[in-house]
Amino acid sequence: KNEVEQSPQNLTAQEGEFITINCSYSVGISALHWLQQHPGGGIVSLFMLSSGKKKHGRLIATINIQEKHSSLHITASHPRDSAVYICAVDLNNNDMRFGAGTRLTVKP
């Protein structure tokens, strides 16, 4: 079993829909990252969080340390949000583990 599990693996939405991507982990962590990878493009960091909630524009990330679960929400989704979203965790020994990614397609 992977230490970091993401769901869903693939997600298709209509423009304007509210989107949720989930990440569960089974190890002790010091921080969790949400990353975005556009087709053919590089990877950018969206959020780094160790507790609570962070918001940036239409993106919201939450984490529940007790439940070892994080969610990434996108409000009023747009076709330009189409990308692979990756959850990554910092282990307590400074190593990192990555989820397999969620491929999001937003249709106009």
Q: Cβ closer to another protein: 12 or 14?
A: 12
Distance of closest approach, residue 73 Cβ to another protein, in angstroms: 20
Q: Which two tokens stand for residue 100?
A: 């397999």
Distance of closest approach, residue 6 Cβ to another protein, in angstroms: 9
Q: Cβ closer to another protein: 21 or 101?
A: 101
* 59-64 sheet: strands from edge to edge: 4-7, 19-25, 69-74, 59-64, 52-56
Q: Cβ closer to another protein: 76 or 96?
A: 96
> Is 86 strand, coil or helix?
strand
The residues that touch another protein, with contacts defined as CB under 8 A, are: 30-31, 33, 35, 41-45, 48, 50, 86, 88, 90-92, 94-101
CA angle 4, 7, 8 (to 5 degrees): 150
